Amino acid sequence: MAASLLGKTGNWGIPQDESGILITDLSFDFSNQEKTVLDKGGEIIGLSLYQEMAEIKLSGLVAKDSAFNGKIGVALTLSNSVPAHLNQSGGITIITQISRSLNNEDFEKIDVTAKHYPHVTGS
């Protein structure tokens, strides 16, 4: 049953399952590198922010009918949008890690980590 939201609330749940995954958790971590300019007293007087990216982590159950078949080092097409916290739009999302786990009394689980590079275009 879908949640009933009453009064003032925030966003609820994850909008879409990902291809081959019944998703339970989805996170986006945005970051960049920085290089500071110091004066003769060691105080920061300027800086450069560069290499912005987003690390994406998703977890869930492997879908029985159409299991996730992504590969490490290959582009990942997300059903959910990357929130607009980067200065650049577009780019490519690359799978960097996949973990799958089996248990004799549970469903098959999967964790996928990918990195979104906004300045890299697909090939």
Q: In the block, which residue shows the tokens 């500071």?
A: 36
Entry pTM: 0.80
Buried/exposed 64-100: b ≥16 CB within 10 Å, e otherwise: eeeebebeeeeebebeeebeeebeeeebbbbbeeeee
Render each residue's pLDDT in the chain as its tens digit; 123 residues: 567 777 877 777 787 778 888 889 999 999 999 999 999 999 999 999 999 999 999 999 998 888 888 899 999 988 888 888 888 778 899 999 999 999 999 999 999 999 999 989 876
Give the tokens for residue 30: 């945005």
Cα(55)–Cα(21) distance, integer angstroms: 18
For 7, residues 6+ apart whose C-beta sits below 8 A from its C-beta are: none
Q: What is the DSSP pairing of strand 21-38 with strand 109-117?
A: unpaired
